[in-house]
């Protein structure tokens, strides 16, 4: 049986999600924006290791319940271990949420970094809507990749030399036409929510700006979360980009940019990054 990719990415998921949010901003959303002042039942589509549960449950009224569903058995095992000694009412299920038929008994249906990987994200949103009670909310935390890529600063580097935004934007646009998977879905979700019949649709943006400055004893954890891996074998990497519609020249440039960034962004390089995760929500 083919292994599930995200089961091998627990540490990456932990590091990357640490860059997205300040806890006080999530608290502001829960208390002042979503006005959740009584216990709620939550279902988390593609919960991973339970990241959203760890973020939300400490901020929600006591007695709230959380169900996390993910296809990754190792992710679910990790989530169960993380929550085992925590004082929250949680259930984790390993399985494909596409195949689940859930009653409309939840107050919140949430997802985080899931819809961008879906060939048909609208069908997932419909399932989320269908399992939420009247006046409940659907909340999606999803990226807008091109703005993410534009939101790095690496001291001593020209950003265009390591992040060629123009050709990346074209690559992302070709990918969605070819596969349906859309890394820029975060900024489109308000329209999707409106057209699926949700009311009071709004979109917020995560507020965290990560600063890594070795001159000021920068936090090693921020560097580890921000650092970039080498693209690996040049021939194989370029071939994969050609299959995704890049020209030979563009693919070669992309390889050189990613290799350069992997080599030049070291623990001695100051950097700033604002992920700007989009948080879209609407009422059923």
User: What would the pLDDT profile of 5-44 be if each residue is shown by its tens digit?
Assistant: 766 777 777 788 889 999 999 999 999 999 999 999 999 9
pLDDT at residue 56 above 90? yes
- How far apart are the C-alpha atoms of 153 and 17, rounded to whole Å? 19
User: What would the pLDDT profile of 64-95 be if each residue is shown by its tens digit?
Assistant: 999 999 999 999 999 999 999 999 999 999 99
Q: Could you tell me the fold of the domain covering 5-144+183-208+276-283? A: Rossmann fold (3.40.50)
List all residues 6 or more positions away from 275 whose beta carbon is below 8 Å from its beta carbon. Answer: 19, 20, 143, 148, 151, 206, 208, 210
Domain boundaries of the chain, sorted by first residue? 5-144+183-208+276-283
């Amino acid at each position: 049986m083919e292994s599930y990719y995200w089961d091998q990415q627990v540490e990456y998921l932990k590091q990357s999600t640490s860059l997205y949010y300040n806890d006080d901003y999530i608290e502001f959303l829960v208390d002042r924006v979503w006005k959740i002042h009584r216990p709620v039942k939550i279902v988390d589509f593609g919960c991973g290791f339970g990241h959203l549960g760890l973020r939300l449950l400490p901020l929600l009224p006591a007695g709230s319940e959380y169900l996390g569903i993910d296809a990754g058995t190792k992710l679910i095992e990790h989530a169960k271990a993380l929550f085992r000694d925590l004082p929250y009412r949680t259930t984790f299920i390993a399985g494909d949420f596409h195949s689940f038929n859930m009653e409309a008994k939840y107050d919140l249906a949430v997802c985080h970094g899931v819809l961008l990987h879906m060939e048909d994200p609208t069908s997932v949103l419909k399932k989320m809507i269908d399992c939420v009670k009247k006046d409940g909310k659907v909340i999606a935390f999803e990226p807008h990749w091109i703005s993410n890529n534009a939101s790095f600063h690496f001291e001593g580097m020209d950003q265009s030399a390591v992040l060629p935004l123009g050709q990346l934007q074209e690559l992302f646009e070709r990918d969605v036409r070819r596969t349906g998977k859309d890394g820029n879905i975060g900024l489109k979700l308000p329209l999707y929510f409106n057209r699926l019949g949700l009311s009071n649709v709004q979109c917020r943006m995560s507020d965290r700006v990560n600063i890594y400055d070795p001159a000021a004893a920068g936090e090693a954890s921020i560097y580890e979360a921000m650092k970039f891996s080498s693209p690996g074998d040049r021939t194989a990497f370029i071939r994969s980009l050609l299959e995704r519609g890049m020209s030979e020249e563009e693919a070669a440039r992309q390889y050189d940019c990613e290799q350069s960034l992997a080599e030049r962004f070291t623990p001695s390089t100051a950097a700033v990054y604002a992920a700007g995760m989009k948080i879209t929500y609407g009422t059923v």
